[in-house]
Structure 1
Amino acid sequence: MVKHIVMWDVRGNTPEQKKESAMLVKSAFESLSGKIPGLTKLEVGVDVSAVDYACDVVLYTEFETRELLDAYASHPEHLRVKEVVGDVRIARHQVDYI
């Protein structure tokens, strides 16, 4: 099993705008559930700590194999979600581990 974690900072001039952007990212990635071969677990969380160094959104996924995680990168549904959230992301961090 391979774990794939991505964290984003999102756009917004006010807490309400940031929350709206974060919820867009959350709902977009949650829409992938059941659509990606080898994706066995998907969680999306929105930060509630409000500390200045925290990321706004986190994606936690598990894939059966590294090859299936690699295939996810070019899967049409994943590409669709990346396009949906592209304008609201201002920073992205990723960790993949076994």
Structure 2
Amino acid sequence: MIKHIVMWNVRGETHEEKKATANFVKDAFESLSGKIPGLTKLEVGLDVSAVDYACDVVLYTEFDCQASLEAYASHPEHLRVKQVLGDVRVARYQVDYI
């Protein structure tokens, strides 16, 4: 198993705009559940701490193997989500680990 974690800061001028954008990201990634071979767990969280160094959204996923994670990167459903989200992010951080 390999774990893939991605965190984003999203666009928005106000707290309400950032919250709406974060929810948009959450819904988009949750739409992948059950559609990606080898993706065994998908969880999306929104920050509730509101500290200035926190990210707005976190994606936690588990894949059955490295090959499944690599295939996810070019899977049509994942590419669709990336296209739908466009440039809503202002920063992105990623960690993959076993």
TM range (shorter): over 0.9
- Cα deviation for residue 86 of structure 1 reads 2.1
Query: Which residue of 2 is the match for residue 73 of structure 1?
Result: 73
- In angstroms, what is the RMSD of aligned CA positions? 0.4
Counterpart Cα distance in 2 of 1:75 and 1:37: 9
Give unmatched runs, 5+ long, in structure 1: none
Residue by residue over 1:50-74, the C-alpha shift from the partner in whole angstroms, topping out at 9 and shown as x without a partner, is: 0000000000000000000000000
- Displaced runs of 4+ in structure 1, greater than 6 A? none
Query: 1:29 — aligned with what?
Result: 29
- Superposition map of 1:1-98 within 5 A: 1-98=1-98
Q: Which ranges in structure 2 are unaligned for 5 or more consecutive residues?
A: none
% identical equivalent positions = 79
Question: In the TM superposition, what is the alpha-carbon distance from 1:26 to its structure 2 partner?
Answer: 0.1
- Aligned mates of 2:9, 2:86 — CA distance in 1: 12
Aligned length: 98
CA displacement at 1:19 relative to structure 2: 0.3
* Letter of the structure 2 residue corresponding to residue 40 of structure 1: T
